[in-house]
Amino acid sequence: MTYDVTLIPGDGIGPEVSEAAVRVVEATGVSVNWHRVDAGAECVAKYGTPVPDEVVSSIINNRVALKGPITTPIGVGFASANVMLRKRLGLFANIRPAHTMPGVKSRYDNVDLVVIRENSEDLYSGLEHIVIPGVVESLKIITEAACTRIGKYAFEYARRNRRKKVTAVHKANIMKLADGLFLECLRRAAREAPEIGYEEMIVDATCMNMVLNPERFDVMVMENLYGDILSDLASGLIGGLGLTPSANIGETGAAMFEAVHGSAPDIAGRNIANPIALILSAGLMLKHMAEFEQAARVEAAVQRVLSEGKVRTKDLGGDSTTTEMTDAIIAAL
Catalytic residues: 124, 171, 204, 228, 232
User: Contact with ligand ATP (CB under 6 A): which of 75, 195, 266, 290?
Assistant: 266
| Pairing status of strand 135-138 against strand 112-118 | unpaired
DSSP notation for 239-263: T-GGG-EEEEE-TTS-EEEEESS--
Binding to ligand ATP (CB under 6 A) within 275-314 occurs at: 277
Q: Supply φ then ψ for residue 193, to 5 degrees.
A: -135, 65
Piece of the chain touching ligand ATP by CB under 6 A; list 24-32, 109-117, 269-277, 299-307: 269-277
Cβ count within 10 A of residue 329:
25
Report, in Å, the least distance between residue 184 CB and ligand ATP.
31
Please tell me whether residue 263 binds ligand ATP under the rule CB under 6 A. yes
- Looking at beta carbons, which residue is closest to ligand ATP? 262
**CB distance 220 to 230 below 8 Å:** yes
Residue 201: name the closest of 177, 224, 226 by CA.
226
Tell me the closest approach of the beta carbon of residue 15 to ligand ATP, in angstroms. 12
Q: Is 321 in the site for ligand ATP (CB under 6 A)?
A: no
Q: Sheet containing 2-8: which strands, arranged edge to edge?
A: 31-36, 2-8, 64-67, 255-259, 245-249, 93-99, 112-118, 219-222, 165-170, 197-202
Least distance in Å: CB of 287 to ligand ATP? 21
**3 state DSSP class of 156:** helix
Work out whether 119 is an interface residue with ligand ATP (CB under 6 A): no
Closer residue to ligand ATP (CB): 62 or 72: 72
Q: What are phi and psi of 287, to 5 degrees?
A: -65, -45
Binding status of residue 274 toward ligand ATP by CB under 6 A: yes
Residue 241 contacts ligand ATP per CB under 6 A? yes
The contact mask relative to ligand ATP for 198-237 (x = CB under 6 A, - = no) is: ----------------------------------------
Q: Which is nearer to ligand ATP, 55 or 278 (CB)?
A: 278
Letter string b/e over residues 263-276, b meaning 16 or more CB atoms within 10 A of that residue's CB: bbeebbeeebbbbb
Selected binder of ligand ATP within 19, 121, 291, 315 (CB under 6 A): 315
Closer residue to ligand ATP (CB): 151 or 242? 242
Q: What is the DSSP letter of 314?
A: G
Binding residues for ligand ATP restricted to 9-48, rule: CB under 6 A: 13
- Looking only at residues 72 through 91 of this chain, which bind ligand ATP when binding is defined by CB under 6 A? 72
**67 membership: H or E segment, kind and range:** strand 64-67
Using alpha carbons only, give the angle 271, 238, 223 rounded to the nearest 5 degrees: 100
Residue 166 as a binder of ligand ATP (CB under 6 A): the answer is no
List of residues contacting ligand ATP (CB under 6 A): 13, 69, 72, 241-242, 261-264, 266-267, 273-274, 277, 315
